């Protein structure tokens, strides 16, 4: 019984040891070849290539700086790989090598361009073929394989007519007619219609969004508030109020009586309007004019606000 157990343990040990031994053997083999890191930057899409198209892939090879690439091993432009003595229709169009050195490694960047010289009436699988480049150094020479890259070559034209209804694949799903363009057109038309209606409303509303809003004195009041406290600001404020009276009355006006005759709503402001005209005369025409406000700028702001209130129907 004890012997049987020893046999089992021995078998178990043998079973566990044999893969390790194989692994050690493989590691020893790999250690013989210097490590070359291969990175391939391939075209973004794999389909939709036609005859004449040029595909470019960039391959980066990193190797210890004890080894150098052999330029004679690089792919030669014009070459075409054969498979079973038959040309594959993918020809090397250009091959460009650049190199740099960093962190004790030689970095080779190989830019390979291939041109498609084959076509078919149906989509055809193809591949940028594997390439082999050689390195030498440290008394050794070895080659590495740049892996191939698969893609599809599309036909230039579909042969014969295609009846979609006979090609009802459940995997494909129903064919939908895109309504995006019509939806966008409708949205744009609705937007234009809305803007037009808003514009019409604004125009019919005497260029104001709300009744009695945005009148000449409301605009004048906003501007008068912003005028500076110097003489220029005073002149600007008075001119602005004259404009407002002109717009409100529909003509140039030169006295309080004229304004009240045209706009009786301003009757409560008659005294102030007369003071305003006296101030205007003093500023623009006759400096000897009497009866002007002591602090004209604040007074004008207050006056324009009262005019705006009258304009809005307030007493």
What residues make contact with other proteins under the rule CB under 8 A?
A: 238-239, 242-243, 246, 251-252, 254-255, 280-281, 284-288
In angstroms, what is the minimal distance from the CB of 239 to other proteins? 5
CB 279 within 8 A of CB 292: yes
**Distance between CA atoms of 213 and 201, rounded to whole angstroms?**
13
In angstroms, what is the minimal distance from the CB of 252 to other proteins? 5
Task: Select 119 or 247, whichever has its Cβ closest to other proteins.
Answer: 247
- In the three-class reduction of DSSP (H, G, I as helix; E, B as strand; rest coil), residue 174 is classed as coil
In angstroms, what is the minimal distance from the CB of 289 to other proteins? 8
Query: Is the Cα dihedral 95, 42, 105, 74 positive or negative?
Result: negative
**Residue closest to 105 by CA, chosen among 126, 145, 131, 135:** 135
Task: Select 209 or 284, whichever has its Cβ closest to other proteins.
Answer: 284
**Residue closest to 275 by CA, chosen among 258, 294, 253, 260:** 294
**Residue closest to 69 by CA, chosen among 91, 42, 36, 92:** 36
Task: Select 151 or 245, whichever has its Cβ closest to other proteins.
Answer: 245
Task: Select 93 or 299, whichever has its Cβ closest to other proteins.
Answer: 299
Task: Select 90 or 307, whichever has its Cβ closest to other proteins.
Answer: 307
In angstroms, what is the minimal distance from the CB of 237 to other proteins? 11
In angstroms, what is the minimal distance from the CB of 224 to other proteins? 14
Site of tokens 């990175």: 39
- The DSSP letter of residue 30 is H
């Amino acid at each position: 019984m004890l012997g049987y157990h020893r046999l089992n343990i021995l078998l178990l040990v043998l079973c566990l040891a044999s893969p390790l031994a194989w692994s050690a053997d493989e590691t020893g083999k790999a250690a013989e070849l210097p490590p070359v890191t291969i990175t391939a930057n391939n075209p973004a899409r794999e389909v939709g290539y036609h005859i004449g198209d040029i595909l470019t892939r960039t391959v980066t090879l990193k190797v210890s700086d004890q080894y150098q690439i052999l330029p004679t091993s690089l792919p030669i432009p014009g070459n075409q790989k054969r498979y079973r003595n038959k040309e594959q229709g993918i020809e090397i169009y250009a091959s460009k090598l650049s190199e740099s050195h960093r962190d004790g490694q030689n970095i080779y960047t190989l830019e390979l361009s291939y041109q498609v010289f084959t076509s078919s009436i149906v989509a055809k699988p193809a591949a940028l073929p594997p390439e082999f480049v050689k390195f030498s150094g440290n008394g050794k020479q070895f080659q590495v394989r740049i892996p191939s890259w698969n893609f599809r070559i599309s036909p230039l034209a579909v042969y014969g007519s295609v009846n979609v209804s006979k090609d009802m694949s459940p995997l494909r799903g129903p064919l939908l007619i895109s309504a995006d363009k019509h939806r966008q057109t409708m949205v744009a038309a609705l937007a234009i219609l809305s803007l037009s209606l808003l514009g019409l409303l604004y125009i019919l509303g005497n260029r104001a969004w709300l009744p009695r809003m945005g009148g000449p004195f409301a605009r004048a009041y906003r501007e008068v508030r912003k005028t500076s406290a110097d003489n220029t600001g005073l002149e600007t404020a008075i001119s602005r109020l004259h404009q407002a009276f002109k717009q409100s009355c529909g003509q140039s006006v030169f006295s309080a009586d004229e304004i009240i005759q045209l706009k009786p709503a301003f009757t409560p402001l008659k005294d102030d309007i007369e003071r305003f005209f006296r101030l205007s005369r003093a500023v623009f025409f006759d400096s000897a004019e009497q009866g002007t406000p002591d602090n004209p700028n604040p007074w004008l702001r207050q006056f324009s606000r009262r005019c705006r209130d009258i304009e809005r129907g307030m007493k």
